[in-house]
Structure 1
Amino acid sequence: MISNKKTKIIATIGPSSEKKEILEKIILAGADCIRLNFSHGNYEWHQSVISNVRSLEKKLKKNIAIIADIQGPKIRVGIMPKEGANIQQGEKIVFNCDLKEYKGNEIPLPSQMFKGGVKEGDVVFLDDGTLSVKITKKLGSKFEASVLKGGFLFSNKGINVPSIKITGSVFSDKDKSDVKFAVSHGADYLALSFLREGKDIKEIRSLINNSQIKIIAKIERPEALANLDGIIEEADVVMVARGDLGIETPMWELPIRQKEIITKVREKMKQVIVATQMLDSMIRNPLPTRAEVSDVANAVYDSTDAVMLSGESASGKNPVEAVEMMRKILEATDSNQTYSRVPEEMYDEPYIYLSKSAADVSSELKTKAIFVKTQSGRSAKSISSFRPQNTVVAITQDEMVSRQLSLVWGVLPILIGKKSIKKIDDFVLPAVSILKKENLIKSGDSIVCVYDHKFESPNKTSANSISIKTV
């Protein structure tokens, strides 16, 4: 049940994977986190998926983080014919911002941002850049365009206009309602789209008050790249959202941007995700291309914490197989990787020195694992940042923390009971019992234990002691 991969898998749920039996297979195949895209589906659908995930967590005895991905100022096509509309290169087409459904050969584009921000001469990309057009004339709510790159256009596909400027809040009333729904229904992470600066994250933090939910900042626009340091400072996790980023910035620079973002996030000892088109051909085919396999492996070599499947698991023909393939690539690559270390200028608190020592001691003594008692997840994340050779077993009494740690590289979260912990064995033995059942540890193995030696101090959130223990 427990994979030996260290890089985590996020699987997006949609029509291909929404049934509970398929969802179970996806989790068994290696998914650590489930993503719900709030650009699609209604609250009843999202609630159903959340309930199924929580039910499967109990059945499979595995912590699963739920990520609520908030739409933000994404422009989308309205309702198109089921078979789509075939727009051909050189053809003249019309977008109508007053329409919600396809009518009279006019493409519905119900967006005030598009209506007010797009100008004649602007190039518009549709469906992650698969199609593109150039605006030739603006007539009130209608825009005439010449097709530069054609193909079939379907309902609700995304539209990118790199030249458009987002003014005011990036969050609509729908976004704020979606945030409140996600928080009240137990999501573990909020993924925020099309951020411009750290201030956008602060706006959402003021909305969720003291919720434990963590924030993932998606890097998708040129403004976000320009303000990357401030966004990293405010976020808990950063996502390299390559779909929109590869349209909003030159595609040929995308590998450079990916490495730059990962390096900066890692330097701040935070978690990072690489997303979009990682195994895209598996939407249609049973096997990925060799280039896609190399792309996933390259993200691991860049030191990402997690990789994400989007259409592959949400709407593709092979959702379970895509997760299985991702897991196999990660298992092979994780075992053949040498990671960069955290810069010494980040060693500004005692628990960080302790984390480095735990990783070094475990590697030098070749212990089976590092056991860390954690209340907030911070100590486990800190140890993970040093990319130890062995698994970080994060033992917590907080259910939400245990789920959130499912996203963190190399961390195996274990939730134990609420009973009082007064000595090392009170948190080590329950975890050992679980790992023995999974054949991940056996009697005689040595482990590194990291903990706060003042067990009676419930407000303590940083570990301050290390010991070596034989199981």
Structure 2
Amino acid sequence: MPHFRKTRIVATIGPASREPAVLTELLRAGVDVCRVNCSHATADSIRSDVARIRRASARLGRPVAILLDLQGPKIRTGGGDPVRLRRGDTLTVVMDEDRQATAHEGGAKVGTTWPSLSQDVRVGERVLFADGALFGEVIAVRDMPEGEPDEVDIRILDGGELGPRKGINLPDTDVRAPALTDKDRADLAVGVDAGVDYVAISFVRRARDVVQLRELLESLGAADMPVIAKIEKPQAVAAIDAILQEADGIMVARGDLGVETPLEQVPIVQKSLIAAANRRNRLVITATQMLDSMERNARPTRAEVTDVANAIVDGTDAVMLSGETATGRYPIRAVEVMDRIARAVEPTGFMPVPDLDRQVQGEGGRGTVTRAACYAVRDEPRPLMVFTWSGRTAIMASKSRPPKPIFAFSPDPRVCDRLCLVWGVLPLSIPGLHTFDELIAAAEKHLLERGLMSRGEQVVVVAGDAPIRGGNTLMKVETVDGRSGGLSPR
């Protein structure tokens, strides 16, 4: 078979990519996961985007995963005209979202969307605006007379123009904002009803935030929905082990993470987060500004190409495009470039070989057979044929980073869609049969008909969660034999 790209590509859907013809071409170019960004979404647009993605997937006859990315408690300035601030000026933030920005001698006043800001910050703590373009430190927190909104005074240390609705970051502050806003709850209900495959929770600070999302999903009848925790706060980096216990995966969201973490630390944090997720058999997406210049230019910079390549070498499951496909001028070309980078990097052997005894742990019989299968394909490279009803066996096999593709068969179309996010996995639909022999025969027929394997080739068969007669775990090496309609023992 031709080289199979193992690294997954996530593309954000927006004005530049939501038209049916463009969506179809994005999937054809190599998109595995479509991200619906709730920061710029309404209930109607979520439903419409999901429906369009499903229609494009059906047209091409291939599965695709849909990731609903909740906005989270993003703190912003209020409205009004831009104000210019210089070093040494005092910016007063008023706890009133409707307050219009006004400039005065020696500073300015702006509103904020977070009325509890004055209760959270302390004198001396840093405040960053507009993704770190401006920053200062708190010099006073003022309780105003009853009926007037409280105020926070900030001495500007690095100035510039501050426009309306710009982000506010508080790297030193334990913000008491809820993990899920009213908008998040409403968007989640719409997304679950529309049939998304993953939900990403923004601005995670602690494991409890993920637990709260799971509780809400359970109340919506979607307890099995996989959750991706976006790591973009220093508190989340510090609590990563606990967060990984609760989440199905993480997103290394380098935008806000790069604002609240020293820039020179971002590559180090990225590598440590990817390694931590892989050790615990969790999915990991690397995101933000990967091919940023392609929003405007037809070709990426050499540094951007190297950034994508290094994330793949680090061991990420997926690389993500944001504005490049949502609003950029070259959405399809950006996907094609990312596809070419991955195909060039994967065969080089630069990616570290995981320690299987640490990588595939627990999970009872499923973990045992999966580890045995991974050793088998490492000693003698062969494809894996995985039968999975939940997707977990395929994910565990993926984390061993086998040299050949993982053909993951499931009778559940939703599992096939979800597996589109998993490194090295080609999800394939198969009927819900009753015995291993029937499963293997049907899978072999499928692979032969699609030209994915040839007669006489060997494959390692593994099942870790198959609810069929004769038990639910299996691992053996087989040789494809089309004459009998099944597989012959080695």
AA aligned to 1:470 is V
Corresponding residue for 2:198?
Answer: 189
Corresponding residue for residue 180 of structure 1: 189
Counterpart pick for 1:132 among 132, 135, 138: 135
Q: Are 2:309 and 1:297 equivalent residues in the alignment?
A: yes
Q: Which amino acid aligns with 1:403?
A: D
Query: What's 1:307 paired with?
Result: 319
Q: Is the 8 A contact 2:83 2:102 kept in 1?
A: no
Q: Is the 8 A contact 2:83 2:163 kept in 1?
A: no
Contact 2:461 2:474 in 1 (8 A): no
1:250 matched to 2:262? The reply is: yes
* Residue aligning to 2:210: 201
SS in 1 for 2:40: coil
Aligned residue pairs total 463
Secondary structure of 1:240 counterpart: strand
Q: In the alignment, what sits opposite 1:27?
A: 27
Q: Provide closer, same or farther for how the CA distance between residues 279 and 100 of structure 1 changes in structure 2, counting only shifts above 3 A.
A: farther
For residues 313-462 of structure 1, what are the structure 2 equivalents within 5 Å?
Answer: 313-337=325-349, 338-342=351-355, 344-345=357-358, 346-348=360-362, 349-367=364-382, 369-418=383-432, 420-430=433-443, 432-433=445-446, 436-437=449-450, 439-451=451-463, 456-457=468-469
Partner of 1:166: 175
- 8 Å contact from structure 1 (residues 397, 415) kept in 2: yes
- 1:155–1:390 Cα change, 3 Å: farther
> Deviation string for 1:120-141 (max 9, x for gaps)?
6544323332343555666645
Q: Deviations over 1:223-245 (max 9, x none)?
A: 21222111111111112111111
Q: Which amino acid aligns with 2:478?
A: I
One-letter identity of the residue aligned with 2:365: P
- Contact 2:80–2:102 (8 Å) recurs in 1: no
Match of 2:272 in 1: 260
> What is the DSSP-based 3-state SS (H/G/I as helix, E as strand, rest coil) of the residue aligned with 1:66?
strand
Q: Which amino acid in 2 is paired with 1:449?
A: V
**Deviations 1:91-131 (Å, cap 9, x if unpaired)?**
76665542448565665532224344345654432333234
Contact 2:466 2:473 in 1 (8 A): no
* Structure-to-structure mapping, 1:72-91, within 5 angstroms: 72-78=72-78, 85=82, 87=84, 89-90=86-87
1:98 aligns with 2:82: no
Task: Indicate the residue corresponding to 2:251 in structure 1.
Answer: 239
Shift, 1:16, TM fit: 2.0
Query: Which amino acid letter does the alignment assign opposite residue 401 of structure 2?
Result: R
Aligned equivalents of 1:127 and 1:424: distance in 2?
60
Partners of 2:5 and 2:95 lie apart in 1 by 47
| Native 8 Å contact 1:363 1:390 kept in 2 | no
Q: What is the DSSP-based 3-state SS (H/G/I as helix, E as strand, rest coil) of the residue aligned with 1:75?
A: coil
Q: Alpha carbons of 1:415 and 1:108: their partners in 2 closer, same or farther (altered >3 Å)?
A: farther
2:106 match: none
- Spell out, residue by residue over 1:263-306, the C-alpha distance to the aligned partner (whole angstroms, 9 max, x if none): 12111122111111111121222211111111111111111111
Displacement of 1:247 in angstroms is 1.8
The residue matched to 2:477 in structure 1 has which SS? Answer: strand
CA distance in 2, matches of 1:219, 1:274: 10
- Say whether 1:467 aligns with 2:480: no
Distance 1:29 1:166, change over 3 A: same
Q: Corresponding residue for 2:64? A: 64
TM-score when scaled to structure 1?
A: 0.88
Note the C-alpha offset of 1:316.
2.0
Shift of 1:188: 1.0
The 1-side partners of 2:137 and 2:177 are apart by 26
User: In the alignment, does 2:123 pair up with 1:111?
Assistant: no
Relative distance call for 1:252 and 1:312 in structure 2 (3 A) is same
Q: Is the 8 A contact 1:242 1:254 kept in 2?
A: yes
1:58-79, Cα deviation, whole Å (9 max, x unpaired): 1111211111111222113455
CA shift for structure 1 position 455: 6.4
- How far did 1:412 drift? 0.7
1:451, 1:466 within 8 Å by CA — same for their partners in 2?
no
Q: 2:177 & 2:114 partners in 1: Cα distance?
A: 15
Q: Secondary structure at the match of 2:298?
A: coil
Q: Deviations along 1:186-245, whole A, 9 cap, x unmatched?
A: 111111112222122111211111522101111122221222111111111112111111
Aligned residue type for 1:194: F
Deviation per residue, 1:410-443 (Å, 9 max, x gap):
001112234x343434455356436743x43334
Question: Which whole-Å CA distance do the structure 2 matches of 1:43 and 1:322 have between them?
Answer: 28
Asked if structure 1 preserves the Cα contact closer than 8 Å seen for 2:138 and 2:153, the reply is yes
Q: Which has the larger radius of gyration?
A: 2
- Show the counterpart of 2:488: none
* Preserved CA contact (<8 Å) 1:68 1:191: yes
Distance in 2 of aligned mates of 1:123 and 1:463:
54
SS in 1 for 2:348: coil
Unaligned runs of 5+ residues in structure 2 are 104-108, 143-148, 482-490
Letter in 2 for 1:230: A
In structure 2, C-alpha distance between the alignment counterparts of 1:19 and 1:445, rounded to whole Å? 42
Over aligned residues, Cα RMSD in angstroms? 2.9
* Counterpart residue type for residue 7 of structure 2: T
Note closer, same or farther for the CA distance 1:58–1:79 as it changes in structure 2 (3 Å cut). farther
Which residue number corresponds to residue 39 of structure 1? 39
Partner of 1:4: 4
Contact in 2 for aligned 1:216/1:238 (Cα 8 Å): yes
